[in-house]
Amino acid sequence: MRHILGRPRRRILALVGTAALALGGAIALPGTAQAANILTNPGFESGSTSPWSCTGNLGSVVSSPVHGGSKALQGAVTDSDNAQCSQTVSVQPNTTYTLSGWVRGSYVYLGVNGGASTWTTSPSAYSQLSVAFTTGASQTSATVYVHGWYAQGAYDADDISLDGPGGGGGDTQAPTAPGGLTSTGKTSSSVSLSWNASSDNVGVTAYDIYSGSSQVLSVSGTSATVSGLSPSTAYTFSVKARDAAGNTSAASNSVSVTTNAGTGGGTGFKQAAPYLYEGWGDPPNPTTVMSATGVKWFTMAFMLDSGGCNPAWDGSRPLTGGADQTAINQIRSAGGDVVPSFGGWQGSKLGANCSSASALAGALQRVIDAYSLKAIDMDIENTDEFENEAVQAKILTALKTVKANNPGLRTIVTFGTSTTGPTYYGNRLIEQAQSLGANIDVFTIMPFDFGGGSDMYGNTVNAAEGLKAKLKSTFGWDDATAYSHIGISGMNGLSDQQENTTPAIWTQIRDWSNSHHIARLAYWAVNRDRSCPGGGVVSNCSGISQSTWQFTSITAGFTG
């Protein structure tokens, strides 16, 4: 862990910068700013970070914990990135401004580039920071920031205020209208847009996207994806540019797009894919299982890191040319296909070990290329990935990258749950997916080892309904669309907590999944789909009485 005692050097430099900024305005007496917040999206209530810009793409908007309103900023600090989020605004020369904000976390900083900063440590509750600075004699813009400290965990920030008059030397010139607005892609619930950049005498700080007369999104770049839309519905979009002084351009050309028809209101992606593991539990011949059950897809476990961000099955078996490729070839020869699962509960994981989102995306791409994949699953578990906000962001950003680079690729994230829905870290994962625009196809929960007790059917349904509610509130989806982005991945027979999912219960879960048109049904694992009543929790049988491949046969009946 980076030593905290390195922090005072940053503090001294900030104070030196403050003195330099003040001296720059010493020729004339500074004016006093009137109390008016000139920041845009100061409380992040838009649901987007824009026009704030965050290093490493590590800033996202969350619904908890907040100081005021319903949203706040969360910065996913890493060992090498302090997750600084900043915004540039127009100011008036030789004027005193007050920057304040509410922050939560270990060692959170608030300040202005080239000027004053302040910090606090308040890991369990929001605390207010405030600092004043005076602009230079010819200064017309200022960049304010908030950030955490290396390896000290995520921070939260809310209700940030820069009190003073808007400036830019009295800038009243609006940017030119964006041109060339076009749709670059669509699904049943989203539309992707791009346009040509506007110009401005000072600089464009944001682009506001409109659906009809309603602003639906604000971004800093020249592309955006509007999500939470309804299937088979016509929408008309336009874009306006905005500068730091708040001047807004005329609207771009408009573009009309009709979203795709949905299957049950959603993505149209359906997958019955139980886990098959070639490194454990007497792995069966997959064609024998396919012939006996009718199943077509398998989730192949697990793709890990063999060192240096290099993918390998289980971290030790070769990416190609080994037992895993033999099984995949057999499955495809029998008319089936596979979705590799990256991660899992233990082992050396690519998500945790690859140094950046781009490096992780490169590792994923090597597997995609090796097997011409149609889908990939990121099984995000344990403290190294699931309970690490920075690693969550890295994984989601990598998935966004490979999805953009591989048209038609489906992306799945799999994670633990409580009996009532996503936990704090599950909610965090979903919120980050929305904030980053990751466009995840399926959010799969694992309803086992979760205190399910004797009612595994009821608690699995309750967990799925909790996930549906979270997807609706985060993405603005209706019930049908939310269900169509849900997956369930159970555990057949006895779980580690001695929960018992019997064939009858798994049939109930499958029937509920079909009637609610969810996207994916899986279980851990085909290796265990054999009878051994009283055998306990072992790798090659379920620990209960059942017929051979009975859970796989039930799963094969999932159609969504």
Residues with catalytic function:
381
Q: At what angle do helices 389-405 and 357-371 cross, to 10 degrees?
A: 50
| Interacting residues of 205 by C-beta distance below 8 A, sequence separation 6+ | 40, 51, 87, 88, 89, 220, 242, 243, 244
b or e along 40-59 (b: 16 or more beta carbons within 10 Å of the residue's beta carbon)? bbbbbbbbbbbbbbbbbbbb
Question: 19 in helix, strand or coil?
Answer: helix
Separation CA 330–CA 112 (nearest Å): 60
**Per the structure block, which two tokens stand in for 41?**
């999206």
Eight-state DSSP code of residue 198: P
Q: Is 282 exposed, middle or buried (0-12, 13-18, 19+ CB in 10 A)?
A: exposed
Q: What is the 3-state secondary structure (H, E, C) of 252-306?
A: CCCEEEECCCCCCCCCCCCEECCEEECCCCCCCCHHHHHHHHCCCEEEEEEEEEC
**Per the structure block, which two tokens stand in for 332?**
């495809």
Q: Tell me how long the chain is.
A: 560
H or E element, residue 405: helix 389-405
Contact indicator for 499, 449 with CB cutoff of 8 Å: yes
Q: Which phi and psi (to 5°) does residue 56 adopt?
A: 65, 10
Amino acid at 212: G
b or e along 232-260 (b: 16 or more beta carbons within 10 Å of the residue's beta carbon)? eeebebbbbbbbbbbbebeebeebebebb
H or E element, residue 225: strand 223-226
The bridge status of strand 410-416 relative to strand 375-380 is parallel
Contact indicator for 467, 500 with CB cutoff of 8 Å: no
| Interacting residues of 3 by C-beta distance below 8 A, sequence separation 6+ | none
Helices and strands per DSSP (H, E), number in the chain:
11, 28
Contact indicator for 105, 155 with CB cutoff of 8 Å: yes
Q: Is 264 left (phi over 0), alpha (psi -120 to 50) or beta?
A: left
